[in-house]
Amino acid sequence: MPLSSTLTRIVLAARPQGEPTADNFRLEQVPMPSPGEGQVLLRNHYLSLDPYMRGRMNAGRSYAKPVEIGEVMDGGTVSEVIESRHPDLTPGDMVLAHGGWQTHAIADGRALKRKLDAGIAPLTTALGVYGMPGFTAYVGLHEIGKPQPGETVVVAAASGPVGATVGQIARLQGARTVGIAGGERKRAYLQDELGFDVVLDHRAPDFAAQLRAACPQGIDVYFENVGGAVFDAVLPLLNDFARIPVCGLVAHYNDRALPAGPDRLPMLLSHILTRHLTVRGFIQHDFIQLYPQFLREMGGWLQEGRIKYREDQVDGLENAPAALIGLLKGENFGKVVVKL
């Protein structure tokens, strides 16, 4: 197929105030770039949508540089090399890239994360269970949560790619798993198809009482993906020496200010002290040395059908903004992948 003279992309048009809106994004067409020495031109086939993208839309200090106004939105992609000026890459290679919200991208050949092999798992899993979110679940448990057989592991956002993988790995390690998700469809999937021991809906008015009843031996590992009311319900149930990998706080990503109410910081610190808690924030990249081990172990689990996953596919780049806005509110059901 002859190469088009333009590519389509979505840039950050304005920084959101609270929840993002369609006006924060702009769809544009720009001339197709050519690869320089050592570079490749990629055709992006699938774009990953992830909660971290909301953080990139803000100015200010974080663990990664913000997207500037007018810049292409950041994002992981499954991409095909269509032109190469790098000796190890040839047209037709499928690679995991950071191609962003656009149909084509230029990448430095050395920066491409890995060539993909559809024989191990479908290519889109490189954006989910067999990629960054799955790796996040793996290292958060391996390095911080360290669940032991018979212990109780609680995880929220449990139907997403991180939470669903956390629950299934913890179960493989002999732990009792309590998942938290929004709505009956997600609850039934986690319990019936993924084998969580108990699944609760965080929107239930008596959610805190339900969680207490579901954890009669207390909580040994709380894999923190959300914060908010879920963490409030978890805190009193934490056992001595419980571990809390702090992975994400999606309930707060659209916050514009601290919530009103009494200062609960002394109570939190007192729990950390008197219950000997380990609370450790992490970004998956902190443990990048475990990536080859993750690929081996997760590849085996996927091929043996011991870890399952679910994707929520969106068609067309133009629908990415609405899908990201929905993801932050729980409208997705599984890993969100945009087919470009």
Binding residues vs ligand NAP (CB under 6 A): 50-52, 133, 136, 156-157, 159-163, 181-183, 186, 202, 225-226, 228, 230, 247-248, 250-251, 282-284, 327, 330, 332
CB of 281 to ligand NAP, least distance (A): 8
- Calpha distance 263→209 (Å, rounded): 23
Of 9 and 186, nearer to ligand NAP (C-beta) is 186
- Calpha distance 109→230 (Å, rounded): 43
Does residue 274 contact residue 238 with C-beta atoms inside 8 Å?
Answer: no
Q: What is the b/e burial string over 157-193, where b = at least 16 CB atoms within 10 angstroms of the residue's CB?
A: bbbbbbbbbbbbbbbebebbbbbbbbeeebbebbbee
Q: What is the b/e burial string over 13-49, where b = at least 16 CB atoms within 10 angstroms of the residue's CB?
A: eeebeeebeeebbbeeeeeeeebeeebbbbbbbbbbb
Strands 104-108 and 94-97: unpaired
What the block records as the tokens of 81 is 């090399």
CB of 163 to ligand NAP, least distance (A): 5
Residue carrying the six token digits 């924030």: 281
Helices vs strands, H then E, count in the chain: 9, 15
Of 226 and 302, nearer to ligand NAP (C-beta) is 226
CB of 126 to ligand NAP, least distance (A): 14
CB of 232 to ligand NAP, least distance (A): 11
Give the torsion through C-alpha atoms of 274, 252, 226, 319, to 10 deg. -170
- Calpha distance 225→74 (Å, rounded): 21
CB of 271 to ligand NAP, least distance (A): 20
Of 264 and 276, nearer to ligand NAP (C-beta) is 264
Of 40 and 211, nearer to ligand NAP (C-beta) is 211
DSSP symbol at 72: B
Of 41 and 327, nearer to ligand NAP (C-beta) is 327
Of 52 and 272, nearer to ligand NAP (C-beta) is 52
Q: What is the b/e burial string over 199-222, where b = at least 16 CB atoms within 10 angstroms of the residue's CB?
A: bbebeeeebbebbeebbeeebbbb
Of 28 and 286, nearer to ligand NAP (C-beta) is 286
CB of 221 to ligand NAP, least distance (A): 15
CB of 28 to ligand NAP, least distance (A): 27
CB of 140 to ligand NAP, least distance (A): 7
Of 24 and 136, nearer to ligand NAP (C-beta) is 136
Nearest to 5 by CA among 103, 108, 107, 79: 103
DSSP symbol at 224: B
